[in-house]
A and B are shown apart, each in its own frame.
Chain A
């Protein structure tokens, strides 16, 4: 029986600012590609059906579920993972607030939480706590109970807004 894995395609994309060319199985999703082909293991898998948000990455500036997108669909795209986002310093303040509040326990959801929070932080202003909670509601955290994460986002946004 022929295996699907024989079906491959070459893709060219930018990952964390670096050009990448790889031949990948067409069925491989984006996070498996990042983890297995590029050894960028900061993006995690926990449900592989788009519910938990552990696989969250940025594709062409938009926050996406990396498990719901095939690697071949990222051909020509610009992908930013938690590693790239961290190294850029874009959310160093947000990450420092996470650290100070212990807004991460096991840390497995945290890369997705940071990328999702970064989107809200970048939008600016100081949303109320319900709006922050609403924004984070697609990311499952089993450890913290969310409050410290909401605190970290709120404090970052207050500081950025000079409030």
Chain B
């Protein structure tokens, strides 16, 4: 591949322009939160509950306070005096119960790793030494660990004020699934488990907070996806006027949704900074990340699908339950894991009768927060596994079976049986594209031939949907202070170059590059003439930051509209200078040109000079506006992206090991602003999905002890085992916006999980075996093969 040219004529959107902000990272000149040191900075180490569930009867800090370097020991109760607890209540979800969560556990620790006290010292090492000397008197309580046990009203409540451990329940009924299932020509049914795992951002959560005692201002450098959200949270919980809170998000070493959550330690650090009037820093180490980062998934499910005599899916029943840990995650609600699963299940298919229930339980584990895909992978995997089983039972090829059962192109817009509202989904085109690039028929022929050699290969083709760029229709009624709009300011500088300030933040996705491309095209300038600034709540437009794959879909549209508006202002000013009308002019390659002849009339730098320094040459009263801001608010609950993934695997039925032989993705994320970035979002997402499905599992014992909190024990995908991934783009520009870009951040992960479930089960089907538990450990694979063999 030839490195792309960022300054070519003919438009930047659609080109694989390299990221201007990546070079410093490759040269070791990134600036992550932990890299920042300020004078008089102190360090925090947390004392954490070693128990899954315990009452805290007392804390003796006297020995720790005497340890070298220690400045102060701060207990949970002291922080609680100046910091409001977090209460995540989803106002749009009747029946949702949620207990207050203090920044640190005051008298009741509900999961292993929950912070109980903070040691502030001159160095992190000294803070850790002293943390070991804090004596906490715990009284261990019975831990509730199992989802179904927790859903039993008789189980001992973790939060007595809530009465029981039932957090939330929701049932979706469309048509009459019980009747349709009983009338079906045949049904298929399976139990599922999706193990709990965690995000594993390579950079742990990090925060440096500084309270200016004179001006009474809080400045926070924070490894977080949304500086605006955290400005709001610090302001409200610590009672600081919002304009005196500034949150800066420097380079961030991985987000994946983890860093949109609010974690107790982060509130505690800001509170302690205010208490001490000194800068304090906290960076989570790997053990702390495993134990106290928000986790994800942890679902069990039973699902059943009914098919008629013509091989058409008529109906589905989906019984889902999950645990969200000890609290409802602040500020976005872990119960979305279940809601998204039952909403997105069956979304590609034209069935009519659906019954689904999600039940959400509190257990003594880490809190389930946002993570790439949020429940959608579960809904997609459950559906696709049943679709494959139904195809097999109907003796129809699974690709053909999907084609037959997808919504027809003429049926849009539609709302799926689960309530997933789609203006359009390019399902048929994505399926055709995926089957084409993977040489599906060739793989099937090879699979059949290899079975003669006792080699068990599987081909999985899975359909996925991605609900991207959630808007106010969804979040407004929830009552959560989640900003569902994004903004962009475009400023012409006096030399004719442009600064762009966006509310979108970039953890490596390349969104800031895409925004530069969009603005560049509006103003007719190249990448070298644009600088993008993001991640500072005090200076950039207010918005969401980075979550739900919104960077291009929303931030990109705001950038397009801001660039377009600035172009209008520039041409108005130029018309005034050139004594013509704006519509007779155009802006190309840094020049203002005659629209009819293409003749250069003046360059942008000359115009900017007039606008900023030589207003005396303009007609009286002219007010040049060379900085413009626009925001974008989506008009639907979310934008709908979709695609199909293909996986080729080989299962060693003697050892249970699964080898990945090939991977293909046909994705439709609307307008592709930068194919290089889009492909890398897909590839990275797929590999995370593979990790989630094959390796990753946060394992707790029955007392709430986390058993595998190191990178040696918690397995992740490494380069050696991962496949190359071939990608095809099906580009259906979104009609909701002028830009037409849709979400891409989560598609890879969502589809990969379903594709791997399908591929492994395809390999095992002739043996009469099916995997049912994620991750597919060799032990589980051997177990299901042995069970099938009786």
Interface residues of A (CB under 8 A from B): 1, 3-6, 25, 27-28, 35-36, 39, 41-49, 51-52, 54, 81-83, 85-86, 95-96, 98-102, 104-111, 114, 129-130, 132-134, 136-151
> By the criterion CB–CB under 8 Å, are A102 and B125 in contact?
no
Q: Which of B29-37, B178-186, B431-439, B445-453 contacts A (4 or more CB under 8 A)?
A: B29-37
With A96-B3, A105-B507, A129-B724 in contact, is A46–B204 under 8 Å at CB?
yes
Please give me the residue from chain A that is nearest to B510 by CB atom. Answer: A102
> By the criterion CB–CB under 8 Å, are A105 and B684 in contact?
yes
> By the criterion CB–CB under 8 Å, are A83 and B123 in contact?
no
Please give me the residue from chain A that is nearest to B687 by CB atom. Answer: A145
CA distance A78 to B22 in the complex (A): 28
The residues of B that contact A82 with a CB separation of less than 8 Å are 27-28
CA distance A1 to B69 in the complex (A): 12
> By the criterion CB–CB under 8 Å, are A42 and B203 in contact?
no
Please give me the residue from chain B that is nearest to A155 by CB atom. Answer: B1
Selected from B26, B125, B285, B677, the residue in CB contact (under 8 A) with A27 is B125
Chain B contributes a number of interface residues (CB within 8 A of A) equal to: 66
Q: List 9 A-B contacts (CB under 8 A).
A: A5-B125, A44-B32, A99-B18, A106-B25, A133-B720, A133-B722, A138-B718, A140-B711, A142-B688
Residue B652 at the A interface, CB < 8 A? no
Residue B625 at the A interface, CB < 8 A? no
Selected from A27, A35, A106, A145, the residue in CB contact (under 8 A) with B252 is A106
With A54-B202, A106-B203 in contact, is A137–B720 under 8 Å at CB?
yes
Residue B497 at the A interface, CB < 8 A? no
Selected from B23, B29, B133, B203, the residue in CB contact (under 8 A) with A46 is B203
> By the criterion CB–CB under 8 Å, are A136 and B711 in contact?
no
The residues of B that contact A43 with a CB separation of less than 8 Å are 28
Q: Mark B326-337, 1 if CB is under 8 A from A, else 0.
A: 000000000000
Please give me the residue from chain A that is nearest to B64 by CB atom. Answer: A1
Q: How far is the CB of A80 from chain B (nearest CB, A)?
A: 11
> By the criterion CB–CB under 8 Å, are B129 and A99 in contact?
no
CA distance A45 to B202 in the complex (A): 8
With A95-B26, A114-B26 in contact, is A105–B32 under 8 Å at CB?
no
The residues of B that contact A41 with a CB separation of less than 8 Å are 30-32, 34-35
> By the criterion CB–CB under 8 Å, are A51 and B67 in contact?
no
Query: Most chain-A CB neighbours within 10 Å: which of B35, B37, B688, B719?
Result: B719
The residues of B that contact A129 with a CB separation of less than 8 Å are 724
> By the criterion CB–CB under 8 Å, are B28 and A106 in contact?
no
> By the criterion CB–CB under 8 Å, are B719 and A44 in contact?
no
Interface residues of B (CB under 8 A from A): 1, 3-4, 18-19, 22-23, 25-32, 34-35, 37, 63, 66-69, 123, 125-126, 129, 133, 200-204, 251-256, 285-286, 507-510, 676-677, 680, 683-688, 710-712, 716-720, 722, 724-725, 748
CA distance A151 to B683 in the complex (A): 13
Please give me the residue from chain A that is nearest to B16 by CB atom. Answer: A102
Q: Which 3 A-B pairs have the closest CB atoms?
A: A42-B28, A107-B25, A105-B508
Main secondary structure of the interface of B (DSSP, over half): loop
CA distance A129 to B719 in the complex (A): 10
Please give me the residue from chain B that is nearest to A97 by CB atom. Answer: B3
> By the criterion CB–CB under 8 Å, are A51 and B28 in contact?
no
> By the criterion CB–CB under 8 Å, are B711 and A100 in contact?
no
> By the criterion CB–CB under 8 Å, are B18 and A100 in contact?
yes
> By the criterion CB–CB under 8 Å, are B719 and A104 in contact?
no
> By the criterion CB–CB under 8 Å, are A3 and B29 in contact?
no
Please give me the residue from chain A that is nearest to B4 by CB atom. Answer: A100
With A5-B69, A5-B126 in contact, is A86–B722 under 8 Å at CB?
no
> By the criterion CB–CB under 8 Å, are A142 and B201 in contact?
yes
Q: How far is the CB of B491 from chain A (nearest CB, A)?
A: 27
With A44-B253, A86-B27 in contact, is A104–B508 under 8 Å at CB?
yes
> By the criterion CB–CB under 8 Å, are B202 and A109 in contact?
yes
The residues of B that contact A146 with a CB separation of less than 8 Å are 687, 717-719, 722
> By the criterion CB–CB under 8 Å, are B202 and A145 in contact?
no
Please give me the residue from chain B that is nearest to A40 by CB atom. Answer: B28
Q: How far is the CB of B30 from chain A (nearest CB, A)?
A: 5
CA distance A111 to B22 in the complex (A): 12
The residues of A that contact B725 with a CB separation of less than 8 Å are 145, 147
The residues of A that contact B25 with a CB separation of less than 8 Å are 104, 106-107, 110
Query: Most chain-B CB neighbours within 10 Å: which of A54, A110, A139, A147?
Result: A147
> By the criterion CB–CB under 8 Å, are B23 and A111 in contact?
no
> By the criterion CB–CB under 8 Å, are B719 and A102 in contact?
no
